[in-house]
Structure 1
Amino acid sequence: MKAQLIAHTQLSEKFYDSFDELDSVGNYDFNYLSQFDTTEGKLVALTAIRTCYSANKPTEIVAKEGAKYFGSKASDGGEGTDADRLFRHIVRSGHSSTLEHISFTFAIEGVSRALLAQLTRHRVGFSFSVQSQRYVRMGSDDKIGGFDYVLPDSVKGSTVKEALFRAAMRAHQEDYDALRSQGVPAEDARAVLPNAAATNLVMTANLTALLSFYSKRKKGRGAQAEITELAEALRREVVAVEPWTDQFFEEV
């Protein structure tokens, strides 16, 4: 399995440049953002959250309120800045719709079709583009060289179990190849491929949706090992670019 972040929310150049035009007291300040330890995700989050409560326009919030939130310690006594305090308050109060504006796109490779069936049950806030077994032919003589598959943890390490599992995979491949050789189209021959067959996909999800997914699929919640591994991989990718989100993954 491989899960790699390939894109995430970024500010537009026009919006980013506007921060340098006006500081919190209405003066021009061309180094406004450089004084704060922040991320683009935090800036989007602050803009969305404060839009709900502020008399300022969304395009003005970072410029006029950024110093207050990013430039002072958390007033709740917790870690980080007052922006971090605000984010904690929003998540804990259930107003996490404001975090739906922060999105992440992942390339996910080498996961089973069984995992895919579980993953696509998480629909709200998710978008999927999946390698098709209809258009990507899975025959031994096709470009792909036959379907790959995922070996479950419960099978690994046992000579007998692995032998049985791999024999079953070979049988599925032989059945698929035989059907194709008889002129059965790939879209019908794929019906004999197993849940263990590997697939690749691109998935986009917003932060709120990812937190919900993680809360249900993290270790200790009864999820299958493969999707638990994916949940941890997605978390690592998100936290690497938006470190402030780590506490929310911890809490869900």
Structure 2
Amino acid sequence: MEVKLITMTPNYLRLIWLAARTCYSPLSPIGLSEQEPPVDETFRLVDQLLKKKHLSVLEHCTMTFAVENVSRTLLAQYSRHRIGVSLSVQSQRYVSERHENEIFDFVLPDEIERTDEAKKAFLRAMDQAQQAYNELLALGVKREDARFVLPGGAGTNFVTSLNLRSFLDVYRKRVLTPGAQWEIKEMLQRMAGLLLEREPWLDPYLRPES
């Protein structure tokens, strides 16, 4: 798995402060944008908003990640989070998975890899899927139909953009809430690590509530 932060809105704290102050100040947003509020005042306001769950102003803050070598199973889970989340996925219709001397990219879960017999069964299934895919293409079947034999473990790549409100919601459901699967949890934790390098003040809000 590879996760890279491609771009993000600069200075989340200041932007959230501006959006929030616009709602309650007689000053115009342009006038407010020309102010330089003290950092402690800005953080205090944003902290109050987060604690009171007044989260709409967080939607102005965005982030875009490139994600590589994750499974289609992860993609199915992640794509259930649709509000405030944009997704552009490598297409199996247009990108061929045909390989003659190797197997398509896939994700091998650690639990399977730890047991020799389980690993052999898994790799055998991947090889059989590759052979079936190649055979279907050789028979003239289109890629969009041949891909039906590929498993949920097949690898994929995508670009995803989220606003901060959506990211905190997905993170809470897939990382902080028990029961989420390991792969999507790992992806979101890597995203959070990259985000915290730019916006370290977010750290307390990416922890379980006490």
TM-score, normalised by the number of residues in structure 2: 0.94
Offset of residue 251 of structure 1: 4.7
Query: Would you say the 8 A contact 1:46–1:62 is kept in 2?
Result: no
Secondary structure of the corresponding residue to residue 151 of structure 1: coil
TM-score, normalised by the number of residues in structure 1: 0.79
Query: Would you say the 8 A contact 2:59–2:164 is kept in 1?
Result: yes
Aligned residue in 1 for 2:95:
136
Instruction: Tell me which of 9, 14, 19 is aligned to 1:43.
Output: 14
Unaligned residue ranges in structure 1 (runs of 5+): 11-39, 71-80
Offset of residue 63 of structure 1: 3.1
Query: Would you say the 8 A contact 1:45–1:98 is kept in 2?
Result: yes
Aligned residue in 1 for 2:141:
184
Query: Would you say the 8 A contact 2:176–2:207 is kept in 1?
Result: no
Offset of residue 186 of structure 1: 0.4
Instruction: Tell me which of 26, 46, 51 is aligned to 1:92.
Output: 51
Give, in whole Å, the separation in 2 of the partners of 1:92 and 1:247: 11
Percent identity (aligned): 40
Max Rg structure: 1
- Give CA-to-partner distance per residue, 1:161-211, whole Å, 9 cap, x none: 111111110010000000001010101000000000000000000000000
Aligned residue in 2 for 1:27:
none
Give, in whole Å, the separation in 1 of the partners of 2:16 and 2:177: 30
Secondary structure of the corresponding residue to residue 42 of structure 1: helix
Offset of residue 240 of structure 1: 1.1
Offset of residue 62 of structure 1: 4.0
Structure 1 segments, 4+ long, off by >6 Å, are none
**AA of the residue aligned to 2:53:** G
Higher relative contact order (CA 8 A, sep 6+): 2
Offset of residue 220 of structure 1: 5.2
Aligned residue in 2 for 1:60:
31
Aligned residue in 2 for 1:204:
161
Coordinate RMSD, CA, aligned: 1.6
The count of aligned residue pairs is 209
Query: Would you say the 8 A contact 1:5–1:104 is kept in 2?
Result: yes
Offset of residue 141 of structure 1: 4.4
Query: Would you say the 8 A contact 1:44–1:101 is kept in 2?
Result: yes
Aligned residue in 1 for 2:171:
214
Secondary structure of the corresponding residue to residue 68 of structure 2: strand
Give, in whole Å, the separation in 1 of the partners of 2:208 and 2:123: 40
Instruction: Tell me which of 103, 123, 130 is aligned to 2:62.
Output: 103
Instruction: Tell me which of 57, 78, 89 is aligned to 1:119.
Output: 78
Secondary structure of the corresponding residue to residue 93 of structure 2: coil
Give, in whole Å, the separation in 1 of the partners of 2:176 and 2:110: 14
Aligned residue in 1 for 2:190:
233
Aligned residue in 2 for 1:7:
7
**AA of the residue aligned to 1:217:** R
Unaligned residue ranges in structure 2 (runs of 5+): none
Query: Would you say the 8 A contact 1:127–1:203 is kept in 2?
Result: yes
Query: Would you say the 8 A contact 2:103–2:127 is kept in 1?
Result: no
Query: Would you say the 8 A contact 1:133–1:190 is kept in 2?
Result: yes
Query: Would you say the 8 A contact 1:107–1:202 is kept in 2?
Result: yes
